Amino acid sequence: MDKKKFDLTRFECLGCGACCRQSGYVRLGDKEPDIIADFLNMDVRDFIETFTCLTKDRNGLSIIDAPDGACIFLDSNGCRINPVKPSQCRDFPVKWRFLGFEQICEWARKNCASSQTSTPTRRL
């Protein structure tokens, strides 16, 4: 399989929410619980109790998942905390990405399609 390459420095989130539906931790930096709690008009202790869990390595906090496995802050309008979303979210996919992200990320799909010669698909 050919490795698809495109310029991630030109990445612009289209708000598709695909990355928000992937399993795994969204680790919070030291100040992020305070910032997000303030944005939600919550006491930081209530925010931590309601919306975070201790990571398995016990080295930090992570945002919990919704029952469907998506981020708890993802709703039908997108990210409820977008203006203050964690750095891990802001850094995706430029500083980190999961295997196969280009197949689900709307921006990557559009940019891969426009920069790659596609192989016609066979219709059944």
The whole domain housing 110 covers 12-115
106 versus 121: the higher-pLDDT residue is 106
User: Can you give the pLDDT at residue 97?
Assistant: 63
What are the pLDDT digits (tens) for 72-92? Answer: 999 988 899 999 999 988 877
Total structural domains in the chain?
1
Whether 4 is covered by a domain: the verdict is no
Whether 122 is covered by a domain: the verdict is no
What are the pLDDT digits (tens) for 32-52? Answer: 999 999 999 999 999 999 999
Buried b (16+ CB within 10 A) or exposed e, 52-66: beeeeeeeebbbebe
Task: Round to whole Å and give the CA distance between 37 and 63.
Answer: 12
Task: Round to whole Å and give the CA distance between 61 and 57.
Answer: 10
pTM beyond 0.85, yes or no? no
